[in-house]
Amino acid sequence: MIPRLDPPEYVTWLLTSRCNLKCKHCYASSRPWDGELTGERVLKIVEEACEIGVENLHLTGGEPLLRRDIFKILEAASKGTEASLFTNLRAINRDSARRLSSLGVRVFTSIDGAFKETHEVIRGPGAWNLLMRGISILREEEVSFTPIFSISRLNFKEAGEFVRLAERLGACSAVLLPVMPFGRAESRDFSADSYACIKAISLAEEAAEELGFNIVLWCMPFASLFVRSRYVSWDSCRSERNMDIGPDGEVLLCDTLDIPVSNIRTKSLREAWFELNSNNLFTEIMSSNTCPDCPASNTCKGGCYARSYKKYGSFNNPDPLCPRALEECSNPPFNIRMRK
């Protein structure tokens, strides 16, 4: 008998690795997944997610709109969870937008430059016009959407203008996160360093304060050391209530890492959730006190463990993007006022 656990608060599910773009920084579509789950199996797991009380189901990819059964999945998910769709909008049309609106699905889409030229360097020719067309359709059909800005060396100086663009486009909020050094970004001098991230956060915070517009920082909980605006929030990566699933049904330690800890191909969601929470590596990561002397220790908890593993080969080192954790942080190459 499986012991009763609180259900996941967030399940992030890469439904497919197929995509109609080839972005420079993608860590999902470039990986050798073992196929993807059948529609029947996906629906069974989604129904179980609703049954056990999963609060938020993030359906991403790849490009999830390439699955012919995506609206069956969204319809099932919307019966018991807050369902979100992560899409580049290339395949959106008026009919699909109406269906998203009727189901109350929130859409996340990527804008990787405040200007067409930057966005298309990262996402390819023609991507900007198709994105703007898609956003226009979402607005006309009253679909709530949030753009995501992946901070890189190519675009970090545009973070403030990205926030202003998001507000002009009618977004309900905006998200910023660093490009993760995995997949296609692994072999490029492309991922943002600490300076680029902090500069981007600073510019975005300034724009958010100016506009009274809410932004969320993903995978950068160290921002609590220096962000002051009430319009900026962040989350810790080290949450015991998060669950990441790959297209092939593998339950992953993090969706950026090829470290499976269970699967939903042959096991129920409840069984896989129990195996994740019983995994020694997972429990060690969640309970480790990486930076006990830091004033942000209780909220940041050491930051992104995937980046730590990538850089140091260990999950117990501080986030390499954190300015306080840098070896030169006593004389950092940027001017920020951190909490002591």
Domains of the chain, earliest start first: 10-290 (3.20.20.70)
The residue type found at 62 is G
pLDDT confidence tier of residue 340, bands split at 50, 70 and 90: low
Strands 10-14 and 260-263, bridge-based pairing: unpaired
pLDDT confidence tier of residue 2, bands split at 50, 70 and 90: low
What is the model's pLDDT at position 63? 96
pLDDT tens digits for range 112-149: 999 999 999 999 999 999 999 999 999 999 999 999 99
User: Which secondary structure element, helix H or strand E, spans residue 173, and what is its range?
Assistant: none
Phi-psi region of 242 (alpha: psi -120 to 50; beta: other; left: phi over 0): beta
pLDDT tens digits for range 287-313: 887 888 899 888 888 899 999 999 999
Strands 106-110 and 260-263, bridge-based pairing: unpaired
- Residue pair 154/142 in contact (Cβ under 8 Å)? The answer is no
Q: Is 76 helix (H, G, I), strand (E, B) or coil?
A: helix
Percent of the chain with pLDDT over 90: 74
Q: Is the sign of the CA dihedral 25, 61, 105, 94 positive or negative?
A: positive
- Residue pair 50/76 in contact (Cβ under 8 Å)? The answer is yes
Distance CA 180, CA 217 (A): 14
